[in-house]
Amino acid sequence: MPLVNPVASAITGGSYTGDNAVGRAIPHGLPGTPKMVIIGIQSPTDTDGLIFVEVPTAARILTPSTNASLGVTAMDSVNFYVGNATSQSNSANSSVRSYTWVAIG
- Ordered by where they begin, the domains of the chain are 11-104 (2.60.40)
pLDDT of residue 40: 80
Q: State the pLDDT at residue 27.
A: 95
Q: What is the pTM of this model?
A: 0.74
Please list the pLDDT of the chain residue by residue as tens digits (105 residues): 454 555 557 999 999 998 988 889 999 999 998 888 888 876 555 555 566 666 666 555 555 555 555 544 678 899 988 887 776 666 778 888 888 888 888
* Alpha-carbon span 30 to 12, nearest angstrom: 7
- Left if phi > 0, otherwise alpha if psi is -120 to 50, otherwise beta: which for 86? alpha
Q: Report the alpha-carbon distance of residue 42 to residue 72 in Å, rounded.
A: 22
